[in-house]
Structure 1
Amino acid sequence: MHTHHLFYYPEAGRQGIETWQSDLNSAMIRGAKNSDICLCVSRWEQQTLQQEHGIRSHYLPNGVNVSQCDLAKPQRFRKKFRLHGDFLLWVGRLDPVKNPRAFVELAIRQPDMQCVMIGGVTRQDVLRHYGLEAPANLRLLPQLSHADVLDAIAACRVLVVTSFREGLPTLVLEGMALRRPIVVPAEAGCLDATDGDRCAAVYQPGNPEDLQDRVRYVLREHEANEIGRRRVLAEFDWRVIAGKLDRIYQGSEES
C-alpha cells in the first residue's frame, strides 16, 4: 500500500525543484505504480496522479483528532507565552513552499495587530532571507508541541495560511475543528479543505494587499467558523476516516 501526499513542485525550492526533490518525485511515482492499493490525501492531487501518470488511487483525506482539538485551552497558551489581546497566527517552518515571508509582510502592513509565528523562524532568518526587519508587533516562537499549537489555534483571532502549495493541510482542518476564522490562499490543497470560500476567506497568492484585505474582512466579522466545524465532523474526523479506510480494505469504497 502506498500513501501519496504531495509531489514536490517548483515552489518547494528556492530556485525551483532541487535534484533531491525531483528524485523523490520519481520514487513516489514508482511506489504508487507498483502498489496494490494507492491512497491519496487530496482530491486535486488524486487528479494529478490519474491525469499525468495514469495512476488510479483511492481518496483518503488527512484526518484530525477532534476529541484532542476539543481539549485545547486558549488561556493556557496566553498564560504560557504572556500574550494578551487578539492576535493573528501563522504556523509552519522556514521553507519556501510555506511562504513565511507573506506573513512577515502582513505584520509590517498591520502594525496595530499582534502577529504570532510558530515554527522556529527567527529575526535573523527574516533579515537574511527576506531583507526585512521583523516588526515589533511580530512574535516569533520556536517549534512547539502539538498540544501547544492546538492551544494557540484556539486562542488566535484569525489563523492565516500563506503556503504556495499544500496537499490537504491538517493545520487548516484543526482550525476548522476549533471554529477559528481562517484566511487561506487560492491554492488547491487549502481549497479542498475549506470547500472553497465556504469555510475560509480566500486571497490571491502573491497579492499582499488582497491578503491584508481578507484578514481585515475576517476581523470585522467576529463570527465563529461553525460551517468549518461541521465540515470537519462530517468528512475529516479520524472516526470517519477510519471507517472509510476499512471500506477501502474491504473493496467496498468508491475511489
Structure 2
Amino acid sequence: MARETPARVVFLLQDLEFGGTQRQALELGLRLDRSRFAPEFWMLADVRDFAPRAEAGGIPLTWLSPYPKVGAQSLAGLWRKLKASPPDLFVPLTAVPNIWGRVFAKLQGARPVIGTCRGGGAIKRQHERFLKGLCDRHIVNAAPLAKELIALGRPAERVECIPNGVDTDHFLPPPDDMRPVREVVLCLARFCEDKDHETLIRSFEYVVARRPRAELWLVGDGPLRTSVRTLAARSPVRGLIRSYPSTPDPRPFFQQASVAVLSSVREGLPNVLLEAMAMGLPVAATAVGGIPDLVVPDVTGLLCPPRNPEALGETIAGLLADEDKRLAMGRAARERAVALYSMDAMVRRHETVFAQALAGKRAPAAANRDAET
C-alpha cells in the first residue's frame, strides 16, 4: 500500500562543514522526490558552512549541540531526539554518526537504519567488524568498500554500491578563450591524514625541477591545516605553493588549473576528482580506493602508487609538459563524468534502496554484482 505522507528520512551528520560527504548528502537531500521522501539533517556539531544552501532548499536542520566539536552534549542530544522524534528511515554519515547513531538506534529499537561507508578508512574507523549488524543494509560509494564489508561477513544483498554523483550542468569546462595561461596544479582536499599532503608537497619539488613555472595550489581546511602549511613554508619551492581556505563553489579554482591532483593513501570515490573531470581537467592521482574505477589511465588521467613523491611528481610534470595530451584527457574526463556519474542516477539509486528498506525488502543480489567482481 502506498504511503499517504512522505517518509521522514533523517541524515545524521557530524556537521555541515565544507566536505565531500556533506556535499553529497546535500545534493541528495535537495533532489529526493518530496512526494515520497521528506529529508531532514541532524548534526552532532555546530558547523554551518553548507547550512544556508540546505535551508534555501527547504531541508529542516537540527543542531544536537551548540559546540563545534562532538562531545557528550552531542550524544545526549542525539539520544533525546531519536526518542522524541523517531524517523521513518535513519541514515548516519561518516564515522562518529555511524557508530553512535547505530548504537542508539538499536537500543531504542529504531528501524530501518542504513549504514554508510564512504572513505577509504571508514570500515576500520566505524568498527564495522563489530557494528555491521546494527543496520538493515549498507550503502558504499566505491566497490573496494563493498568487497571489504562482504569479506567481513556482511551479506552481499545487504550492501549497495552507489558511486557519488556530480552536477555536470553546474561543473562545466571553461570556454576555450578562458584556458589557463599558468601551470597550476590544484589539490582541493581536506587537510587530514588520508590525503597525505606531505607526499604532494615533496612531489612538487620534482615537478618544479622539470617545470619551473608550475604552481601548487592547496585548497581546503581540516585538522592538519597548520602542519600542512608549515610543510609548505619549509619546502625549497615554497614560493610556488599557495594555500586557500575551503569554498562552497570551487569552480573558479578548477577554471584556473591545468591538472587536478590527489595524493591520498585512503579514499572512497572522491568528489573533487568527479568535479574536476566534469570541468574538463585531467587527473593525476594515487591508485587507492575507488580512484582506479574513476580514472582511466592514459585516457582521463594518470595514476601512481601512494607515498611515492618522485612517481607523483613525474606524473604531474609529464601532464604539464604535453598540452595536447592534457587537453585530450580533459575532454575524455568530461565525457566519462557525464556518461557514468550523473547526479540523477545517484539520487534514483538511493531512492530505490530507501524504498526497499522502508518496505522491509532485501535488495536483489544482481544489484551487487559490481561489488563481487
- RMSD over equivalenced CA pairs, Å: 3.1
2: distance between equivalents of 1:106 and 1:195? 22
**Could you list the runs of 5+ residues in structure 1 that have no partner in the other structure?**
10-20, 79-83
1:8 paired residue number = 121
1:166 and 1:7 mapped to 2: Cα distance? 4
Q: How does 1:91-102 map to 2 (within 5 A)?
A: 91-102=188-199
CA deviations 1:27-74 (Å, max 9, x no partner) are x45554232232111111100000123343011111112222138799
Structure showing greater Rg: 2
Aligned to 2:172: 70
Deviation at 1:192, TM superposition (A): 2.1
Equivalent residue number for residue 187 of structure 2:
90
Q: 1:200 to 1:137 in 2, by over 3 A?
A: same
CA deviation digits over 1:172-220, x for unaligned, max 9? 1111111101101121321122245542201122222211221122121
Residue 8 of structure 1: how far off its partner (Å): 2.8
Q: How many pairs were matched up?
A: 234
Does residue 194 of the first structure (1) align with residue 295 of the second (2)? yes
Task: Letter of the 2:197 partner, please give it.
Answer: P
Q: Identity over aligned residues, as a percent?
A: 18
C-alpha separation in 2, matches of 1:122 and 1:40: 28
- Kindly state the Cα deviation for residue 233 of structure 1 after the two structures are TM-superposed: 1.6
Residue number among 278, 285, 290 corresponding to 1:184 in the alignment: 285
> How does the TM-score come out when normalised to structure 2?
0.55
Task: Identify which of 50, 57, 77 aligns with 2:150.
Answer: 50
Match of 1:59 in 2: 161
Name the counterpart of 1:203.
Answer: 304
Any conservation in 1 of the 2:187–2:260 contact (CA below 8 Å)?
yes
Question: Partners of 1:169 and 1:159 in 2: how far apart?
Answer: 12
Q: Report which stretch shifted further, 66-75 or 171-180.
A: 66-75
Q: Distance in 2 between matches of 1:48 and 1:124?
A: 32
Return the letter of the residue paired with 1:155: Q
* Change in 2 beyond 3 A, CA 1:85/1:196: closer
2:201–2:231 Cα contact (<8 Å) kept: no
**Structure 1 residues 197 and 247: CA distance shift in structure 2, 3 A:** farther
Alpha-carbon contact 1:101-1:126 (below 8 Å) kept: no
User: What is the TM-score normalised by the length of structure 1?
Assistant: 0.78
Relative contact order (C-alpha < 8 Å, sep 6+): which is higher? Answer: 1
Q: Note the residue ranges of structure 2 that are not aligned, 5 or more in a row.
A: 1-113, 357-362, 369-373
Residue 242 of structure 1 pairs with residue 344 of structure 2: no
Q: 2:169 is matched by which residue type in structure 1?
A: S
